[in-house]
Amino acid sequence: MSILTSEMQDVMTKKHVLFDVAEKVEYKRELTAEEKEIAEISDAWAREIGETGKDPDCQIAAYIKKTVQDETYNAPDELLDQMFERGSVGEFDDVEYNREAKNTLIAHEAAKGGVVDRSWIDMSAVYPTWKNRQVETDLSYVDLRKNGFKSVAKLTVFMKEACQNALFYDVLVQVDNAIVGGEGKIDVAGSAPTLDAMDALALYLNDRSDDSVIVSLTKYAQAVRRMPSFAQYMSDDMKNEFNRYGLVKSYDMIGVAAISGAKRQGNGSLLIPDKRIFGIAGKVGSLDMKGDIHVFQDMNNQSEQVHVMLKDFTYGFAITKIENCAKIVLSA
């Protein structure tokens, strides 16, 4: 075992640091003293692999697995944690959820000692929608020699983001498909939200929870601020936020989570469905991660590439309280 291999094994024992280092290196953010030391060790390690074409302990795969696993399975995700009861199950296990029971019992008027029609409570089970995601790519020896750890950092960050973006998109698509009418569907004949539509959405959410969030693409969060007559409802702090960032951070005391339209999934699709503004009132269902991810690598010295495969990013989710979800649908 080389000295660098041993040092990298020590690096990978540090919890909740690996992704921070990779992300800061990728996005050129300032490193702490400890993070600089980790980056220097990792850089020498990556360049050595690029020089020799050898990684007998598959440490690139081990690094990616540990980093992505910790960030997508174990680290908090504020928005998903707000929407779902989170958990995990074994690779070969299954799960079912209890549908949130509504009080559908009816108190009939009756003569004393009489008999009335029975009413029922829906206690049926709900089974999750399971999704399994996989990412494969190549990492060239030339890139490892030229850019060192930056090559591995970029690959790790992008793999993590690809998996997390797919998960978030799948969840929002199911919410979108489940709201087909009624009070929870607010139609707007135009390409931007209106004050009436936003008020209706806020009322719907506030009637159901004091822990709600509005989720939309950034362009719609920005359009909210530009709605006629909205400025009068904004505090000075909110106005300063908008003047600085062009965004509104809350509406009627409900937080607004703006999702960048500039960031896309690898296939070019947005991170959430377009022409939609979603409202989530507290917990709406359950989300479980299944098993562990597996990362494999093949060293191909002939083509001077490392073939990297991230497999078994598996998750299951179910919307058990669709009445806690609402959406504004823009028609143009």
pLDDT value of position 117: 82
Long-range contacts made by residues 51-57, C-beta under 8 angstroms, separation at least 24? 51/141, 51/145, 53/141, 53/299, 53/301, 53/304, 54/299, 55/297, 55/299, 55/306, 57/1, 57/5
pLDDT value of position 225: 64
Distance between start and end Cα atoms, the chain: 62
pLDDT value of position 186: 95
Q: 193-229 pLDDT, tens per residue?
A: 898 999 999 999 999 998 888 998 988 888 876 665 5
Flag residues of the chain having pLDDT under 50.
1, 231, 233-234, 238-239, 241-247
CB 316 within 8 A of CB 129: yes
Q: 80-135 pLDDT, tens per residue?
A: 888 999 998 898 888 887 766 677 778 888 888 888 888 766 666 788 999 999 99
pLDDT value of position 246: 39
pLDDT value of position 298: 96
Q: What is the DSSP letter of 270?
A: B
Question: DSSP alpha helices (H): ranges in the chain?
Answer: 3-11, 18-26, 33-52, 59-69, 78-83, 141-147, 149-178, 195-206, 218-225, 236-245
pLDDT value of position 263: 78
- Token duo for residue 30: 């300032």
Task: Specify the pTM.
Answer: 0.81
- 330 pairs with which residues across the strands? 188
Whats the size of the chain, residue-wise? 332
pLDDT value of position 228: 52
pLDDT value of position 84: 92
